[in-house]
Each structure stands twice: as C-alpha cells, then as structure tokens.
Amino acid sequence: MSLEQYAIIDSTLREGEQFINANFTHEQKVEIARALDEFGVECLELTSPLASPGSAEDARTIARLGLKAKVLTHIRCQKEDARVALDTGVAGLDVVIGTSSALRRFSHSKSIEEIIDLAADVLTWIRSQAPDIVLRFSTEDSFRSEEADLFRVYLAVDRLGVVNRLGIADTVGIASPGQVARIVGTLRRMTKADIEFHGHNDSGCAVANAFAALEGGATHIDTTVLGIGERNGIASLGAFIARMYTWDRDLVRQKYHLDGLRGLELLIAELVGVDIPFNNCITGYCAFTHKAGIHAKAILNAPETYEALDPHDFGVTRYVSIAHRLTGWNAVKGRADQLGVALSTEQIKALTLHIKALADEKRLTLDDVDDLLRLWANGHHDAATDSALSLAEETPADAQ
Ligand code: HCA
Ligand code: CU
C-alpha cells in the first residue's frame, strides 16, 4: 500500500472545465490555480493548449506563476499536441488514448498494436525533447477495455522506460472498488512507474474507487473541486480529503491547509453557478449538525462519539439541533447553559417533554425553544406546560 505517499492531481482546470456550467476566464483560472496551490494539492492539470488560443495562454501564464504545485497539461497521444504543450512551459504532460472497443471503433479507429506503436513513438519523442518533464501515459475507458489489451499496452509503455506515471481511467463511472483494487494491484505488480487513478462518479463510487486504487498501489488521485466534470463529474477534492482524513488524520493535516477547503468550494460554486450540496462531505450545511437526543447528549460530552472528522480542522462549526420531537434534555440543558438561563434539571426535563409535544403539533424553531427557556426560567409557563411537568416524572425525556 502506498497510502502514505499519495498525491492529488487536481483537475478542476481540465476535467472541471468539462462541467456544463464551467466557463472560466483567464483571471478566474489564475485565481483557482493559486487557491488550489494554497490549499496544498500536489499537482494541477490544465486543459490542453490545443483546445483554444485562450487555453494555450492560460497554460503559459499558470506555468509561470511559480506555484509549489506541479503544473501539468492534458493532451492526446500525438506529437503535434505534445509540441504545442511543451512550448507552454508546463512541468508535465498527461498523455491519453482510448483503449476500449467503443473508443477504438467510434473515436480513433486504431488497433491495440497501432496504439502501442503510436504511444512508443510519441512518448520517446517527448522524452527526447524534454528530459526533465513529468510524463504520464493513460488509457481512456480503461475499465471497459479488454484486460489483456490493457495490460499489453501498459507493459509495453512501462518497458520504454520514459514515462513517470501510468494512468488508469474509469471514464464512464462503472468500476467498483473491488475491481479497481484488483486491476490497479495487477498493474502495480507488473510495472514500475507511478500509478494515477481518474474515476467518474456516474454510479456514485468515485471516491471509494480512488481509495481502492490507493489500496491497490496507486500513487496519484485525480480530483476536482466539488467533483465537477463531464456529466456528473469525478471524485470531489473535499470528499477525497474526508476519506483520507479518516484514514490518517495527522498526515492530511500536514499535507493540506484544511481550513481553505470551504473557501475553495465556495469560489468554484459561485463561478459555475451551483450551490454546495446539502450533504457534501465537510462543507454541506448539515455535515456537522446533530439532531437525535441520544446523539446530542453524546456530542455534548465527547464530539468524537458521533463525528469522524473534527469540524475545527476545517474551520466549520458543529450545530446541535434541539427544536424537534427527537430532542433530549441534555441538549436542551446545553442550550439553557449557552443562553445563561437558570432552570433545574427537573424543569429542563419537563420542558423537554413539552417541546416534544409541541413539535408533534407544529414546526418549531430555535427561537421558539429559546423563548420557552426564558419563559420557564421566569416562571411564566401555562397550564399545558404544567401538565407536561407532571408527566416528567414518568417519561424518559431522552428516549430518542
Ligand atoms: C475524458 C478523458 C478523461 C481522461 C482521464 C485521464 C477520462 O473522457 O474526458 O487522462 O486520466 O475520463 O477518461 O477525463
Ligand atoms: Cu474524465
């Protein structure tokens, strides 16, 4: 396992540009590149300079920003593409060619032998032109390619001794974690170069597959901010960070400026006109909210009981929700303490039952609960609440 040595290749400026709403200006690309570098991703991948004159200019500028992250660009397996890409001054080239029968038939019409010959020709030429460049060779749609074809291509390329990294791509998001770990594991045993995994999220496995790739021996993982990309995108940077944090918290804290994640996501969300999803890892609005009374009680005593990630590391805050029927008296007491409202434990328990009964009737807000706490502290509760008070003796207020 190479889990301790993994590196992130953030492709927000390449795969992310393939997201339907993405249309970054030159200045926005520079801002994104700087923000990603500041966060600490190890590499940035940029759109091919052949895509448009502006894309070439973007690559030239970002390559010259003096970032800590290695700046890479993404090209087809063609000498002409490589020539243009090398002229931009980037530190690395990510070369890709399709190997699945669908891509061979409908995209470039080449046989596996022709792919191997072309790759050898292009890759050795690039190495001769740029001895120090980081050179990656990837197959597209790797997981729908015949395994025998795939390994023939990778073996042949690895034996050239000119590439630093082999890439494997789940282009249509159909791979499963077990399959990824197995295929990457085989590749790890057969070849010497580093291994990069790029996985789409069509069936919801992008992050799980990225982690499985690391377990199989991969060294580099492709991400984009919020997972933006072609269709519904690839592994999200934040979700991948969450996954790695649960694996090795200290390593992730050392490698990245975690409190910059939210800003990075807000920047991209705004530029592409989307909201941060409610259930986003780490930054989703309910990622650190706690509701059930039993959870709230434990959270107030020791947050790690129900939190795998520490929100403080990411500059976000936890929220314990108390205005609902699942509430518990410990949480209500916590709120009373926050407000500096003096009520006995018995009163808190009775009020908790009252809140539960009210919540069965109507939707409550935190303001409603705060008002009740103050009313009860001032002795202003009414007959209905008194009857709840008498029930308090018999009914456990922390039942949910
Ligand atoms: C695409 C290409 C790619 C390339 C991945 C890579 C894919 O279809 O746009 O070069 O690692 O998903 O296969 O993004
Ligand atoms: Cu892709």
| Statement to judge: residues 245 and 293 lie in one domain | no
Tokens 């929220």 appear where?
Answer: 319
Give Cα 112 to chain centroid, integer Å.
34
With residue 97 as reference, give the H or E element that holds it.
Answer: strand 92-98
| Atom number, ligand 1, closest to the C-alpha of residue 11 | 14
Q: Which of 200, 290, 295, 324 is catalytic?
A: 295
- Whole-number Å distance, alpha carbon 304 to ligand 2 midpoint, is 36
Nearest Cα residue to 84 out of 59, 103, 106: 59
Of 211, 240, 272, the position where a domain reaches its end is 272
For residue 3, pLDDT over 50 is answered with yes
H or E element in which residue 10 lies: strand 7-10
| 355 assigned to some structural domain | yes
Residues 138-147: tens digit of each pLDDT: 999 999 999 9
Domain end (from 241, 272, 303): 272
Q: SS3 for 355?
A: helix
Mean pLDDT (the chain) is: 94
> Are 192 and 73 in a shared domain?
yes
| Together in a domain, 182 and 41 | yes
Specify if 302 maps to a domain: yes
State which H helix or E strand residue 199 sits in.
strand 194-199
Q: What backbone torsions phi and psi does residue 45 show, to the nearest 5 degrees?
A: -110, 130
Measured from the Cα of 15, ligand 1's closest atom is 14
Q: What are 348's two structure tokens?
A: 């808190």
Residue 232 is part of which domain span? 2-272
Q: Which of the listed residues 218, 239, 272 is the one where a domain comes to its end? A: 272
116 and 248 in a common domain: yes
CA distance 201 to 208: 10
CA of 144 to the centre of ligand 2 (A): 14
Alpha carbons 104 and 25: distance in angstroms, whole number? 34
161 and 65 in a single domain? The answer is yes
Would you call 295 a catalytic residue per the annotation?
Answer: yes
User: pLDDT digits over 245-288, tens only?
Assistant: 999 999 999 999 999 999 999 999 999 999 999 999 999 999 99
Residue 351 falls inside a structural domain: yes
Nearest atom in ligand 1 to 196's CA: 11
pLDDT for res 390: 45
What's this model's pTM, rounded to 2 decimal places? 0.93
CA distance 27 to 123: 32
> How much distance in Å is there from the Cα of 139 to the middle of ligand 1?
8
User: In this structure, is residue 378 part of a structural domain?
Assistant: yes
Tell me if 127 is assigned to some domain: yes
- Are the C-beta atoms of residues 218 and 197 closer than 8 Å to each other? yes
Are residues 355 and 264 part of one domain? no
